[in-house]
Amino acid sequence: MRDELIRRALVSIPQLLLMSFITFLFIDLAPGDILAKYRFDPRISTETVKQIEEKYHFDKPVLVQYGHWLWRTINLDLGYSFSREAEVTGVIAERLFNTFLLSFFSIIFTWLIAIPLGIYAAVKQYSWGDRILSAISYFGMSLPSFFLALLLMFLVYAGRDLPFVSSIPIGGMISPGYENMSTSGKILDRAAHMVLPVIILTIGALAGLQRISRGNMLEELRKQYIVTARAKGLPEHKVVYGHALRNAINPLITLFGFEFSSLLSGAALLEIIVNWPGLGSLMLAAVRAQDTFLVMGSMLMGGVMLIIGNLISDILLVIADPRVRKA
């Protein structure tokens, strides 16, 4: 089983590289020249431009360029970011952890809230609680994530005189006087800045997961073995939590792999809106500056995160489902 998981993750890598090649071609075919900005910049000598051109083989055909890029990438050198005047690998590494923090906490909270709500709605199907939850999640699914973000940011801003709300910072990751804080103060400051983005991401993902976990749970509860379990006099909580729930969770874990992609996309967009220095906002800046290496590197990193997310969901499935383990 372990070999199978590793094989699946490794198969994605050539595909990711092919994807990078497609993007590379796209960028090359499009009008515009990466170095145009430097050619017309009087502060940069033509010799420097020539050096850059030679170092990154911009004067060669696209296949050669890509070959060099690929070779450097395999050696974990993603090139040079012209807009940030630093190595792309370093720039991305700095941002990656921030994005990870947001995604990690929002996943934890989404699962902790959505699945119990889904189970509750399924067990008490057609009760008032179920109806209200269904209505909310139905509307919630259509609410654009960026609109939700703006609304919540506005709410926090409008309520800034209220006791708890006042301590929630809007936007950014650190307060102005961050450098002078003590270590614990720094951690607290970052945590406070995370509150709003994590709440936004969590609420955005709640509706979908609640609906799906309710559906899965209902499907399980209708199955024969549940009837059998009830018929032989098992207490209801054992039927629901001991039998139905265990089976209803498995498809959710598979789903986690699929949903992870949209979670990363959502997190990237949110980073831009709340000004969180993560991979998403980095990539937007790179796109604006037409910083090709940084764009390619960020995109590749997005792909790598997705592969890792899928790997984790596979591993979780193996842990949760003994049938998969034996297969």
Task: Summarize as ranges the residues that interact with another protein (CB under 8 A).
Answer: 12, 15-16, 18-19, 22-23, 26-27, 29-32, 139, 141-144, 146-147, 150-151, 153-154, 157-158, 170-171, 261-262, 264-266, 268-269, 272-273, 279-280, 283-284, 286-288, 290, 292, 295-296, 298-299, 302-303, 305-307
| CA-CA-CA-CA torsion sign (126, 129, 131, 133) | negative
Task: Provide the b/e sequence for 50-63 (b: ≥16 CB within 10 Å).
Answer: eebbeebebeeeee
Indicate the residue among 171 and 277 with the shorter CB distance to another protein: 171
Angle of helix 62-74 relative to helix 292-320, nearest 10 degrees, comes to 50
Closer Cβ to another protein, 244 or 269, answer by number: 269
- Closest CB to another protein among residues 181, 304: 304
User: Pick from 188, 162, 197, 160: which is nearest to 277 by CA?
Assistant: 197
| Min separation Cβ 278 and another protein, Å | 12
Least distance in Å: CB of 288 to another protein?
7
Between 134 and 250, CB nearer to another protein: 134
Q: Which is nearer to another protein, 240 or 302 (CB)?
A: 302
Q: How far is the CB of 196 from another protein (least distance, A)?
A: 11
Shortest separation between residue 147's beta carbon and another protein, angstroms = 4
State how far the Cα of 81 lies from the Cα of 83, in Å rounded to an integer.
6
- Closer by beta carbon to another protein, 18 or else 188: 18
Identity of the residue, 170 or 174, whose beta carbon is nearer to another protein in the bound complex: 170
Burial 4-38 (b: 16+ CB within 10 A, else e): eeeeeeeebeeebbeebeeebeeeeeeeeebbebb
Show contacts of 190-194: CB within 8 Å, 24+ apart: 192/167, 192/168, 193/169, 193/276, 194/101, 194/102, 194/105
Burial level of 77, CB count in 10 A (0-12/13-18/19+)? Answer: middle
Closer residue to another protein, CB minimum distance, 18 or 187: 18
Cβ 144 to another protein, closest distance in Å? 5
Q: Which residues lie across from 87 on neighbouring strands?
A: 80
CB of 24 to another protein, least distance (A): 9
CA distance 281 to 132: 36
Distance in Å, CB of 204 to another protein, minimum: 12
Neighbours of 279 (CB within 10 A): 28
- The least CB distance from residue 264 to another protein, in Å, is 4
Distance, CA of 277 to CA of 268 (rounded, Å): 10
